[in-house]
Structure 1
Amino acid sequence: MFHKIIAVLAGFIITVISTTGYTGIVILMAIESACIPLPSEIIMPFAGYLVSTGRFDLYLAATAGAIGCNVGSIFAYELGKRGGRAVVDRWGRYVLMSHSDLDRAERFFSRWGDLTVLVCRLLPAIRSFIAFPAGVARMNLLRFHFYTFIGSWPWCFGLAWVGMKLGEQWRTDPRLSGILHTLDFLIVGLILAGGIWFVWHRLKRPASKV
């Protein structure tokens, strides 16, 4: 069962990007930014790998990822604006959001104001949830989307660049190619196993726990 879950997750990401191109990057990054645990740390490096094969352009891939962040954030922003903390009380565990996540984001807002969105889009984990507290704070929508794009672009670019460089090495260094050929399933399995453990752990934790 566990191996089937890993295969489905890996296959989903690879299939979407491989078959739909830049649109697939937008779709997957939109899912991630809608508070759904589909890690950009897997999505963008694979897009970067396709840059190394010549299928994608690095800058366009990063831009597609940033656009996806904006698209997905619309849902989370509106949910926070219209529902507030009551949404976390009732539904937080289903999108892996707890009060501690919301409290952390609100502390950022207290210190940095609207720049919180820009700063948090550069941080792992919290970047996926920042749109919700921005909605709770009723941040100006135009500034929200501007900071979301500006903060998301370097994050997407950096991850895609890493994937591109690894792809280049994989294709040009016979030793690395041989190692990766042996370990690729193990590496992907460990990454996804960590993601599944994270999801399972958060689903078991009550949303009100701080």
Structure 2
Amino acid sequence: MLALIHTVSGWLNHVGVLAVTVVLFIECFGIPSPDEIILLLSGYLVSQHRFSYPVVLLAAVAGSTLGGIGAYWLARLGGRPVMLKYFRFLFRTPERLDYWERYFQRHGDIIVLVGRIISGVRAVISYPAGLFEMSLARFVLYTVVGSAIWAVIAVTLGYILGPHVVSALESSKQYEAPIVGGLVVLGALWWWWERRRRRIRESSHS
């Protein structure tokens, strides 16, 4: 963890805020990237008057938006055959894919908006948006808003923590496993609830 922090710090020192744009751009394709670290460290550098707060936010939103649009078009052009071929473990059948498409059409706006704020989810949320052909204008709008909210939270936190941001990142490592475990449990409960509700709806129509 400490080595990664030093690496990201080196990027910021040598490349400047452009490093923020690049890291967040890459993240949107589902490639593991130190987005939290680079935004927190950028907030610390803002507190040291080495970076401009508005410029860091603009760099973050630009990276997330451009990367999101790229991933959106990859999924949209690849389409359903690619998803059923390479992601069958998620959808299993065309019928299951149809179900998720209807769900995304009803709740796509809020899914993209909130997904841009949640760690892990923001790295892949562009793919279902493209696959299910969400309006590009709506996708960009909610991507920009969600990315801005996330950037404000992370950069401001780094600014407040100031010189303690590195020790805070080190301390947070012990909470990673419980948080991931909690998210897995919540995801399983949500899947069970959706499946139960669908069965009830199907039985009522039969």
When normalised by structure 1's length, the TM-score is 0.67
Residue equivalent to 1:150: 145
Q: What value does the CA root-mean-square deviation take over the aligned residues?
A: 3.5
Kindly indicate whether residue 66 of structure 2 is the aligned counterpart of residue 71 of structure 1: yes
Kindly indicate whether residue 72 of structure 2 is the aligned counterpart of residue 81 of structure 1: no
What SS class does the counterpart of residue 84 from structure 1 fall into? helix
Matched-pair contact (CA < 8 Å) for 2:115–2:122: yes
Q: 1:111 to 1:24 in 2, by over 3 A?
A: same
Q: 1:107 to 1:157 in 2, by over 3 A?
A: farther
Partners of 1:39 and 1:107 lie apart in 2 by: 33
Q: Aligned to 1:20, which of 15, 18, 27?
A: 15
CA drift of 1:74 comes to 2.4
Matched-pair contact (CA < 8 Å) for 2:108–2:129: no
Q: 1:107 to 1:45 in 2, by over 3 A?
A: farther
Between the aligned residues of both structures, percent identity stands at: 33
Q: Max radius of gyration: which structure?
A: 2
Kindly indicate whether residue 41 of structure 2 is the aligned counterpart of residue 41 of structure 1: no
Q: 1:87 to 1:49 in 2, by over 3 A?
A: farther
Matched-pair contact (CA < 8 Å) for 2:23–2:63: yes
Partners of 1:163 and 1:90 lie apart in 2 by: 42
Q: Which runs of 5+ in 2 are unaligned?
A: 92-96, 181-206
Partners of 1:14 and 1:185 lie apart in 2 by: 13
When normalised by structure 2's length, the TM-score is 0.68
Structure 2 counterpart of 1:23, which letter? L
Kindly indicate whether residue 23 of structure 2 is the aligned counterpart of residue 32 of structure 1: no
Q: Aligned to 2:54, which of 56, 59, 72?
A: 59
Q: 1:86 to 1:187 in 2, by over 3 A?
A: farther
Partners of 2:31 and 2:158 lie apart in 1 by: 22
Structure 2 counterpart of 1:25, which letter? V
Q: 1:107 to 1:155 in 2, by over 3 A?
A: farther
Partners of 1:108 and 1:39 lie apart in 2 by: 31
Matched-pair contact (CA < 8 Å) for 1:61–1:157: no
Q: 1:57 to 1:48 in 2, by over 3 A?
A: same
- Structure 1: 4+ residue segments shifted above 3 A: 9-12, 84-92, 105-108, 183-188
Q: 1:91 to 1:113 in 2, by over 3 A?
A: closer
Partners of 1:114 and 1:186 lie apart in 2 by: 35
Structure 1 counterpart of 2:60, which letter? G
Q: 1:43 to 1:108 in 2, by over 3 A?
A: farther
Partners of 2:66 and 2:26 lie apart in 1 by: 9
